Structure 1
């Protein structure tokens, strides 16, 4: 069986392009028009192909990069490679998938978490906070939760949008997962009022931390 080429994949992605999907995605800062369900179907057929994934990433095409993240081997990347990839991943969906599908599964995740969290680029820093939020939920041992709340309290209100969203998620996760810090997390959220008026569809939980924390704790107790 012959290996699939980059040109063949790009041609297939072009046939999946949908103007309506692109219009919706562009409202969220993503420049691609491929339905993600169809993209996942392509990835399922291709299976894991690290070399092809790297070549697709190098094209710079958003749909190709999303596909690359689905067919790569997360543990195969060196720390410097992931750092470079994150700094190139300027669209929200590529950024999110890179962090959640690849970096979290990579052995360098903790080193990258610490480096990125302190990065002057707010988009890069948001990735560090996303990794921190994951640790708050799954591996909190060794984290300075009080120190994290100190930073959030001082910087959340004036943080750029993407970084603010990531820090706010961390605030909520601390309140949800750690009863000893719940009251303080809710208090910080109430005083800062970040995302209090964020439009939330029916049956969805508000990203406003006090409501988010209270709702998730309620669900856990049901």
Structure 2
């Protein structure tokens, strides 16, 4: 489907918009009503189109931006472009997909991780902490894990929601992946009680770090 116009794609997204899905999504801060399975099917049909992805992003529409993330070439973006996009991505799903599907595959990922982690904008900072959690799990060499725990201990409790979630994710990853820091990670989680009472559906792991760490460590030992 090369050569597809933005107008044609926007018309198709409008047809896919479901008021019931929109109502559910809006409770989570995502202002769109497109079923994500149908969105992925559309992306599969369009295939990779970097120019179209850029034009869809520029519309500012949440569903269009999610589609843009799926059809772009992650390595084609410059550092400044990705920085601007993360600052524009206010819908949680767009922010999450952009960080996970694009920034993590970018050659600028580490530079951006360092720059974002201390950004005064808590949503931007949360992107930096999500990238740090990824490094803790997959490429921890060179990270100051004790320093990260110090920062989490000092800042997580009073951090805005999205940043608190990302810091908590990093705390859990340190406890899960690094046995020498596990006791301290659990102790910080127990003392700060962040997400302790978060309603967790049956069969899902609680995001409360001490429970999350214990469960993932248990699964590793069982396998």
TM-score strictly above 0.5: yes
* Alignment: residue pair count: 222
Alignment partner, residue 121 of structure 2: 121
**How many angstroms apart in 2 are the aligned matches of 1:182 and 1:7?**
52
Any residues of structure 2 matched to 1:7-156 within 5 Å, and which?
7-156=7-156
| Other structure's SS at 2:42 match | helix
**How many angstroms apart in 1 are the aligned matches of 2:19 and 2:176?**
40
Relative distance call for 1:74 and 1:185 in structure 2 (3 A) is same
| Other structure's SS at 2:187 match | helix
Structure 1 position 163 matched with structure 2 position 154: no
> Contact (CA 8 Å) 2:2, 2:46: kept in 1 or not?
no
**How many angstroms apart in 1 are the aligned matches of 2:163 and 2:2?**
44
> Contact (CA 8 Å) 2:205, 2:212: kept in 1 or not?
yes
**How many angstroms apart in 1 are the aligned matches of 2:46 and 2:100?**
20
**How many angstroms apart in 2 are the aligned matches of 1:155 and 1:118?**
11
Superposition deviation, residue 184 in structure 1: 0.4
Superposition deviation, residue 201 in structure 1: 0.6
Structure 1 position 190 matched with structure 2 position 190: yes
RMSD, matched Cα: 0.7
**How many angstroms apart in 2 are the aligned matches of 1:17 and 1:154?**
43
**How many angstroms apart in 2 are the aligned matches of 1:160 and 1:4?**
40
Structure 1 position 202 matched with structure 2 position 202: yes
Superposition deviation, residue 137 in structure 1: 0.5
**How many angstroms apart in 2 are the aligned matches of 1:76 and 1:47?**
15
Superposition deviation, residue 2 in structure 1: 6.1
Relative distance call for 1:168 and 1:7 in structure 2 (3 A) is same
Superposition deviation, residue 31 in structure 1: 0.1
**How many angstroms apart in 1 are the aligned matches of 2:192 and 2:40?**
39
Structure 1, gaps ≥5 residues long: none
> Contact (CA 8 Å) 2:168, 2:209: kept in 1 or not?
yes
